[in-house]
Amino acid sequence: MAYGKGRMECFLGDPNSTIDLIPADMVVNSIIVAIVAHADRPGEIVYQVGSSNRNPLKYSSIPLWGHIYFTQNPWTDRDGKKVLVRKIKILDTMESFHNHMYLRYILPLKMLELANIASCHYFEGFYANAKRKIDVVMRLVELYRPYLFFKAIFDDKNTDKLRVAARNSMDSGDIFNFSLIPRPSIGRTT
């Protein structure tokens, strides 16, 4: 949403990495079908509900789809004006992210800190708010760092077997459909 509101200018991640992007209802339906399928059978089977193996999605697609979507369906601000979005810059290394943050945010924050001190803390509220926002972004990036540059595809054979079994069973297959479907065109909003 930050991108659609015009507040996001860069995207951090390896553009060639594959990610799993699954709707929550599909995950819940898969869990329910697995519970029903294993109600009378003890043992542990791991199910990976994911798209990376059968329907891979590259990180580079996310900014592209976001741009297409918000160009065709612009966000409207409080005043009713449409927010125009630009193509987003992809930062593909932590070094490029740190350089971007330093030049765009941290260096100006240091100058604001000096101005704040020189003006007897006149800008204290503005400075504290800006510093807090930068600190949150930096903490989030460190938290999600392993996933931003993750290079793996998950095996979903067990989930596929469960999908086939559910499809063959009229009682749960029709109720809990969790088959992968092709991604819709991003431009459509229906």
pLDDT the model gives residue 189 = 46
- 113-142: b (≥16 Cβ within 10 Å) or e: eeebeeeeeebeeebeebeeebeeeeeebe
Contacts of 114 (CB under 8 A, 6+ apart): none
Question: How far is residue 8's CA from residue 140's CA, in Å, rounded to a whole number?
Answer: 15
> Could you count the other beta carbons within 10 Å of the beta carbon of residue 148?
18
pLDDT for 177 equals 56
Predicted TM-score of the model (pTM): 0.72
pLDDT of residue 166: 81
Q: What's the token pair of residue 170? A: 């009229």
Indicate the length of the chain as a whole number: 190
> Cα–Cα distance between 149 and 19 in angstroms, integer?
10
The DSSP bridge pattern shows strands 89-91 and 57-58 to be unpaired
Residues in Cβ contact with 186 at an 8 Å cutoff, skipping those fewer than 6 apart: 65, 68, 69, 72
Those residues of the chain that have pLDDT short of 50 are 172-173, 187-190
d(CA 159, CA 52): 13
Q: Which of 34, 17, 13, 150 is nearest to 92 (CA)?
A: 13
